[in-house]
Chain A
Amino acid sequence: MIDTRGLSLDQAPPFHIPARFFLTAPLFVLLAGLLLLWEGPSLLASRWLPLALAMTHLIVIGYLGLLMCGALLQMLPVVLGAPVPAVRWVGSLTHPLLGLGALFLAGGLGYGLPWSLAWGAVASALGFICFLLPVTLALWHARGEPGTRRALRAAALALLVTLLLGLVLSTFLLGLLPLGNFTGWVNAHVIWGLLGWVGLLVIGVAVQVIPLFFVTPPYPALARAWLAPLLLILIVLASLAEVRGWDLTATLALGTVGAGFVLFALLTLWLLVRRGRRRLDPTLLHWGTAMLSVVAAFLAWMLNAPPTLVGILLLVGVGLGLPAGMLFKILPFLAWFHLQHRQLASGRFDLRIPHMGSLLAVNWARTQFGLHLLALLLGMVALAVPALARPAGLVLFLSGLVLEGLLVGVVLRYRRASRAFMATPAP
């Protein structure tokens, strides 16, 4: 369980650091939506199309990368009692580097611009390295539940491998390195990025936050302790087999990894059904949709459906939705937490700080979920009915816009409450 005994303002980064990551990330959903709106159905025809690669990197580095890094800087001290060293520096460097990296990488991949690809690869790599070095140190000294520690360490390792494979692929595309079996290397990059970094991090975070947010029983001890390390071993095997061209081994290992994630998704859905709090809040709806997307993606892969369908389910269903749902809890909680500490530090117990629930416009959060779900469904159907690709792009853009509006709203309410605190004299 989250150890709030060790939680102190000295350990947690200032509010503006995670907030900066969280407010920037949805802008990349806007860009991804605009790209799909502009380019239309041709973008969804194959996962190898330059613009599909551009859109993928806008989502995975611009949106997911920023959100996951920003959230971890804040969560490591809380969940594992492991404050990130020099967190202000890390925040100030990683944030612009990942943002610029995503833009340049998307430009380079999407429009065939070698200079943009090179700058994008270097900036993204530097951004992730600035993040990984201190985070590795923090994880080294981490306390707390061993299962979560293992999952987060495995996810950090997966990010490093994804990054190295990305650099290998970029140098090949720039003509600086010969590479046999390009498809195998790309598949290995995708496996480490999506299943390793994103997948293992989701597992590590879920075992902590699902019981906490939704008042559910804990995940079974065996799954908590060993699912992530087991998946990591299988990911190593699957990616090695992809690079070496051992097709049968790759398929078997990947199938087992997929089955492991399906098991995790079904476990999560089972816990959510047994939750103590019966209300359907937007975070719960996003978690449920993301877990169903995992199951659907695995079935689609088993049935040899187009890889773009698996991609949409994982990137949009899980990658865009789940972090949005988490943000609906994380950002208001952080705002509330910092206000609470301000009150403690000042001893102004005569002032009432706003409840966490009042910091987020929850009806708009439900609208955001609805738009997200519509974008996911339209994106999938657009593979068969190309005329729906542009509407899918428009709805995706709108879901990003509402998400951004919601987060800005939380920050403004936090500022207002902060100012009232400082302006009112003590009685």
Chain B
Amino acid sequence: MDKELDVSDLEPPEPLERILDALMELRSGECLAVSHRRLPYPLFDMLRRMGHRYETTGEEGRYRILIWPSGE
């Protein structure tokens, strides 16, 4: 089950804040699917350290980032 989050129109660092909030509320077995206008590099570093995995698709202006806990 994916949880959707669109942060395309938000100014930094709100996308990062919203994504981290959403990850905290993620239930077991759920993925977070984020729509963003750019690739949030600082987030990727944090996800690695937090033990999450991610996958990105799309192009500049319209990216989709799928995030899930690495144990699942």
Given contacts A344-B46, A349-B50, A333 and B13 within 8 Å (CB-CB): yes
Residues in A neighbouring B10, C-beta threshold 8 A = 215, 277
Most central of B12, B14, B21, B50 by chain A CB within 10 Å? B12
- Total number of B residues with any Cβ neighbor in A under 8 Å: 18
How far is A4 from B40 in the complex, measured between Cα atoms in Å? 8
Q: Does A213 contact B (CB under 8 A)?
A: yes
Given contacts A1-B38, A215-B9, A355 and B17 within 8 Å (CB-CB): yes
Q: Does B49 contact A (CB under 8 A)?
A: yes
Q: Does A306 contact B (CB under 8 A)?
A: no
How far is A336 from B17 in the complex, measured between Cα atoms in Å? 10
Q: Does B55 contact A (CB under 8 A)?
A: no
Residues in A neighbouring B42, C-beta threshold 8 A = 4, 7, 340
Q: For chain B residues 10-46, which have a beta carbon within 8 Å of chain A?
A: 10-14, 17, 21, 24, 37-38, 40-42, 45-46
Smallest beta-carbon distance A391→chain B, Å: 36
Residues in B neighbouring A355, C-beta threshold 8 A = 14, 17
Q: Does A175 contact B (CB under 8 A)?
A: no
A→B interface (CB under 8 Å): 1-2, 4-5, 7, 212-215, 276-277, 333, 336-337, 340, 344, 347, 349, 352, 355-357
16 A-B contact pairs sorted by A residue (CB < 8 Å): A4-B40, A212-B11, A215-B9, A215-B10, A215-B11, A215-B37, A277-B9, A333-B12, A333-B13, A336-B13, A337-B13, A344-B46, A344-B49, A349-B49, A352-B21, A355-B14
B→A interface (CB under 8 Å): 9-14, 17, 21, 24, 37-38, 40-42, 45-46, 49-50
